[in-house]
Copies of this chain bind each other. A is one copy, B any other.
Amino acid sequence: MSRLYRLLPTARRLRIANDVFQEAPFARSSAIRIAGPTCQHIRWQHAQAEATTSAAGADHAPQEQPDRLQKQIKYTSESYPNIQRDSRFKELNSDDVKFFKDLLGSESAVIDGVNQDALSDLEGFNADWMKKYRGKAKLVLKPDSTEQVSKILKYCNDNLLAVNPQGGNTGLVGGSVPVFDEIILNLSRMNKIRSFDDVSGVFVADAGVILEAADNHLAEHSHIFPLDLGAKGSCQIGGNVATNAGGLRLLRYGSMHGNILGIEAVLPDGTVVDDLSKLRKNNTGYDLKQLFIGGEGTIGIITAISILCPRRSQAVNVAYFGLESYEKVQEAFKEAKHQLGEILSAFELMDHRSQALYNKATGARLPLEAEHPFYCLIETSGSNTDHDSEKLNSFLEHVMGEEIVSDGVVAENETQAQNLWQCREGISEASQHFGGVYKYDLSIPLPELYSLVDACRDRMNEAGLLSADDESKPVLDVLGYGHMGDSNLHLNVSVRRYNKEVEKALEPWVYEWVSKRSGSISAEHGLGLAKKEFIGYSRSETMVRLMKQIKQLYDPNGIMNPYKYI
C-alpha cells in the first residue's frame, strides 16, 4: 500500500502542520499505537513475538531476558493471594507429556518443564508483556493443526488438565498467561493463510497468523484487514477475535461481530465447531460463532477465522485542532459524521492536560501554539484523494467559520501525519513518565464521556492528593483522551508514585461512576484476570448468571482459561 497524504488548501486560520513536529522524540510506529505500555515494554514484546514467530517452524521458545524476567515479575498467585489453584485439576506427569509429544510429533512443538529444566524456555510464555502477570506452566504445546488442537483438548478434558490458550500474548488484562500450572496451548504454529477472494473480499486464515502478516497479504490485493491496533506486529488474528479487539478502525469498519463471517473452533471435549462460512448472509440457525468472539478462550479455542475485508483506501488525510469546550467537541464530531460521512476513519479526543503532559514528558512541540481546553484528531480514508481533501477542507472551513473549532492544522505529508498521530499516541507513555499511572479503559455514553475526568480531578483535589507542583502529593494530574468515535475514554491518573490512598479514592468509585451511566468498565481490553471481579459494574446479575450458564454448557469441567473472565 502507498498511503498518500495530500496538501490541502489552507482554510481560514488553518495552518499546515510544519516541520517543528519532526522534533518529536519518537517516530510513530504501529507498536506504539497501543494504550498503556512504555516503548521499552513494547520493544521487549516485539522481540519476544518475533522469537515466538520464528519458532513457528521448528525452533524453541523465546529466550529473551528470562533471568531478568524471573527476578522482576511477581507470580500472579502471589499478587492475587485470594485465588487458589483449583484442586480438581490434575497435575501433569511424564505420561501426559509423553502423550502430547507422541501426538505433536515434533520435539519443537513441546516445551517440557516436567521432565527437564526448561524454565528459561517457559518464562517467555508464562509472563505477559506488561510484566504484571506470571504463571507457573510447566508445559507449552504448539499444535499445527485443528485436529491436534482437538486431540489435546479432549485429552485435557478427560484428564482434568487445565488449559491456557495463547495467541500473540499481547493482552492487557492478564488473559493470555496462566495463573498456576495450566498447560499453555500456543497457536503460533497455526499460521497459514488459507484463502483470499478479491471479488468478495473474504479472507480465511489460521488463528495463529500475525495481524500484520494478514494485513500485508491483503495489501498485496488492495484490501485491508478491518482491524488495526498497536500490537499488530505481534498479536494473532485468532486472539484478536477471541478478545473482540477494537482498535483504530472500528469507527469506520465496525466490530468483529459484524465482520467475522465464520469461525472454526475446538470445544473442550474435542468437538470441532466447523462454522468457517465464507458467506455474508446465512440465516440458518443460531449464530453460535458470536459466542467465541470476545469469549477470551474460555469456552473453546478458535483455530481459524473467515473475515470480510474492505478495499484499501487510496487517500488518507489527518487533521488536528483545538476546541474550547467538550460541547464543541461533540458538535465537531456531529459535523464530522455529517460532512465527512463515509470517509471518516478516526475521531480521537485529547484534553489539554494530556497534551501538556505529552509536551512536558517528551519536549515535543505541540501542533498549535495557543492552548485550548480540548484537542481532536481526525483521519479520513477514501477512494479519491481530491474528493477527500475537498470534503475535509470544507468541513474544516465550516467548523472554524462557525467557531466550533478554534484552530487547526492539516498534515501535508506522511511524516506530518505521523507526528499528529503521535500527539495522540504518545499520551499513554507520557502519562507514566513522572512515576506511574492508574489507567482505565471505559465506555461511557458520549454526552457524559468527559465528565468523569473532571469528576475524578475534583475527587483527587478534595482528597488533597493532587498537586501539579507539590512533590509531597502523589497525584500529578488527571487526564482524559480516547476514541471519541467509539465513546471510548481512557482515564489516566498520572502519579509521582503508586499510593494506597489514591487507589482507595479511585476504586470502586470509578467503576460506580461508570456503572451509574450504564457504561462499560472494559471497553476494548476485555476481562481476563484484571477485570474479572468488576464485571458486576457493567453487567446485571442476570447477565452474569446467563453467561455462567454458557460457560457451564461448553466447559463443564472448567478447564478452559480458568480463574479468569466471569
Chain A residues with a Cβ under 8 A of chain B: 197-202, 222, 243-244, 246, 250, 254-255, 257-259, 271-275, 277-288, 290-291, 293-295, 299, 311, 313, 330, 333-334, 337-343, 382-384, 387, 390-391, 443, 445-447, 483, 486-488, 518-527, 531, 535, 538-540, 542-544, 546-547, 549-551, 553, 565-566
Contacts and interface: CB of A to CB of B under 8 A. Distances in A.
Given A197-B445, A383-B338, A250 B542 contact: no
A451 B337 CA distance: 41
B274 A542 contact: yes
A275 B518 CA distance: 10
A283 B525 contact: yes
A431 B295 CA distance: 46
B338 A279 contact: no
10 contacts: A197-B445, A199-B334, A246-B281, A273-B542, A278-B518, A281-B520, A281-B523, A282-B443, A313-B342, A341-B383
Contacts of A275: 543
Contact of A387 (B243, B273, B391): B391
B549 A341 contact: no
A284 B447 contact: no
- Give the most central of A200, A343, A551: most B CB within 10 Å: A200
Contacts of A551: 286
A274 B445 contact: no
B387 A339 contact: no
B283 A197 contact: no
Contacts of A522: 282-284
Nearest to A329: B199
A284 B520 contact: yes
Chain multiplicity (copies):
2
Contacts of A330: 199
A280 B546 CA distance: 21
Contacts of A445: 197, 200, 202, 278-279
A340 B391 contact: no
A273 B311 contact: no
A542 B124 CA distance: 36
Given A283-B527, A387-B387, 10 more contacts: A197-B445, A200-B487, A254-B258, A258-B259, A278-B518, A281-B483, A281-B487, A281-B488, A284-B527, A286-B299
- Give the most central of A257, A311, A342, A384: most B CB within 10 Å: A342
A443 B353 CA distance: 52
A244 B257 CA distance: 13
A287 B257 contact: yes
A558 to B, nearest CB: 15
A288 B550 contact: yes
A244 B519 CA distance: 26
A136 B27 CA distance: 71
Contacts of A342: 313, 342-343, 382-383
Contacts of A544: 285
B523 A283 contact: yes
A375 to B, nearest CB: 18
B547 A285 contact: yes
B250 A281 contact: yes
A387 B395 CA distance: 14
